[in-house]
Amino acid sequence: MTELDSEPVLEVRDLHTHFFLRRGVVKAVDGVSFSLHKGEVLGLVGESGCGKSMTALSVMRLLPKGSARTVQGRVLLHGEDILTRSPREMREIRGSQISMILQDPQTSLNPVFTVGEQLREAIFHRTHGRNKDVMREAIEALRRVDIAAPEQRIGQFPHQMSGGMKQRVVGAIVMSGQPGVLIADEPTTALDVTIQLQYLKLLQRLQRETGMAILFITHDFGVVARMCDRVAVMYAGRIVECGTVEQVFENPSHPYTRALIASVPKMTGPIERLYTIEGQPPSLMDLPVGCRFAPRCPHAEQRCHDIYPPAFAVETGHDAHCWMLEAE
Ligand SMILES: Nc1ncnc2c1ncn2[C@@H]1O[C@H](COP(=O)(O)OP(=O)(O)OP(=O)(O)O)[C@@H](O)[C@H]1O
Ligand SMILES: [Mg+2]
C-alpha cells in the first residue's frame, strides 16, 4: 500500500556528506534528495561505493567518527529536521521512530548479552519500563520472525546462532521498537542464497503487517523488483533516476540505469553474455563538473561533460537527470 498523496514520513533534501581527509575531500553523498511515504518500500540501488550506506548513515546520524560530516541538507522525519536534534534526542528517535538493519548482523548485536537481554532492552525502551510482561513479549518477538523454540533461544548469545538466525534476531529487535521508518542496508548480502530469500519474505511480511516505510538499499535489481514500490538509482554520490519500479523497469531513462538493468542476469532463456558497463565511476575526490556518468556514457555529447543535467520528467512520478530527456 502506497500513499503517495500523503505527506512523506521521511524526506531527504539536498544532502551532502563528505569525508575530510588529508589528501582531499571525498564527496560520498553530494546532493541526494528523495522522499519516503507511509507504507512504501523505496529501493536505493547503485554500484559499490556510490554512497548508499553513507546516505543511510547520514539519515541515522551514525556516521563513522572522525573525518565524516554532513555539511549540507535536511532530513525531515515527519516534517521535522532531525539534523538539528541533539545527540540525546537522536538516541530517542533511533530505535523508536527510525531504525536500521545493517548488512552484517554481527555489528548490530552485542556479543556479551543474550538475545533475550537485547530484546528486553528494546521493549523496555519503547514502553518506558511500563510493560510487566517483557519476557513474554520478547519470546513473541522471536516467534514472529520465525525462530523455532524461542523459549530456548532467548537465553543464548549471538555466537550460538547462525548468520540467518542472527539477522532474524536483529529484525525482532528492530520490530520491537515499532519504528515507522526502517532503513535496511543490504540486509541479506551476508546470508547464503536460500536464507536470503527467506529473510526477504520475512521483511516483506513484517512490512505488510506493520505498514512501516522501508528504505531498502541494495545493488541487486532483482531484489528491487521483488521488494520495492519505487526505486532511486544512485551514481557517484547522487540520485540519477527515480520512479515506480514499473516505470523504471519498463522505461529506464538514464543510460546508467539501462546499463544496470541490462547487467542483471536473466533467469529464463539462453545464457547470454552479461552486459558490463565499460570504465570506472569517477573518483569522489575529483568529480567531473558535468554529468558524472558522461565519461562512460555511449550517448555523451559536449554539454554532458560541461553542465550537470537537471531532473527531467519522464512521466508523472518518474524523472531522470539526463540531457537526452530535454524536450526540443
Ligand atoms: N571511512 C572512510 N573514509 C574515506 N572515505 C570513505 C570511508 N567510507 C566510505 N568512504 C567513501 O564513501 C564512498 C561511499 O561509500 P558507501 O559506503 O556509502 O558506498 P555504498 O554505495 O554503500 O557501497 P557498497 O555497495 O559497497 O556498500 C566510497 O566510495 C568511499 O570512497
Ligand atoms: Mg554500502
Three-class SS state of 314: strand
Look at residue 98 and give its three-state secondary structure.
strand
Instruction: Give the three-state DSSP class for 255.
Output: helix
Q: How far is the CA of 90 from the centre of ligand 1 (A)?
A: 23
pLDDT, tens digit, 9 for 90 and up, residues 150-190 = 999 999 999 999 988 998 999 999 888 889 999 999 988 88
Q: How far is the CA of 186 from the centre of ligand 2 (A)?
A: 7
Residue with cell 581527509: 21
What cell was used for 232?
532511486
Q: State whether the beta carbon of 64 lies less than 6 angstroms from ligand 1.
A: yes
Distance from the first to the final alpha carbon of the chain: 37
Nearest atom of ligand 1 to the alpha carbon of 234: 21
User: In 102-254, where do the E strands start and end?
Assistant: 181-185, 213-218, 230-235, 238-244
Strands across the sheet with 318-320, in order?
98-101, 181-185, 213-218, 41-45, 230-235, 238-244, 318-320, 312-315
Tell me: the pLDDT tens digits for 242-286?
Answer: 999 999 999 999 999 999 888 776 655 555 555 677 888 999 999
Neighbours of 115 (CB within 10 A): 28
Give distance in angstroms: CA of 51 to centre of ligand 2: 7
- pLDDT score recorded for residue 2: 47
Nearest Cα to Cα of residue 100 among 190, 179, 194: 179
Q: For residue 21, give the ligand 1 atom closest to its CA.
A: 4
Angle at the Cα of 183 (from 180 to 184), degrees rounded to 5? 130
Q: What percent of the chain has pLDDT over 90?
A: 71
* Spatial contact of 284 and 271, defined as CB atoms under 8 Å apart: no
| Residue 218 in contact with ligand 1 by CB distance below 6 A | no
- Whether 287 is in the pocket of ligand 1, judged by its Cβ within 6 Å, is no
Are 139 and 154 in contact, with CB atoms under 8 Å apart? yes
- Asked whether the beta carbons of 99 and 179 are under 8 A apart, the reply is yes
Please report which helix (H) or strand (E) contains residue 127, including its range. Answer: helix 115-127
Question: What is the DSSP code string of 265-301?
Answer: PPSSSS--PPP---S-PPPTTS--SS-TTGGG-TT--
- Centre of ligand 1 to C-alpha 37, Å, is 26
Q: How many CB atoms lie within 10 A of CB 276?
A: 9
pLDDT value of position 141: 92
Chain segment 21-76, per-residue pLDDT in tens: 999 999 999 999 999 999 999 999 999 999 999 999 999 999 999 999 999 999 99
The predicted structure's pLDDT at residue 1 = 43
Place of cell 531522470: 320
Distance 95 CA to ligand 2 centre (A): 20
Question: Would the CB of 26 count as within 6 Å of ligand 1?
Answer: yes
Which atom number of ligand 1 is nearest to the Cα of residue 103?
A: 27
Q: How far apart are CA 81 and CA 116, in angstroms?
A: 34
Q: Is 57 in the pocket of ligand 1 (CB under 6 A)?
A: no
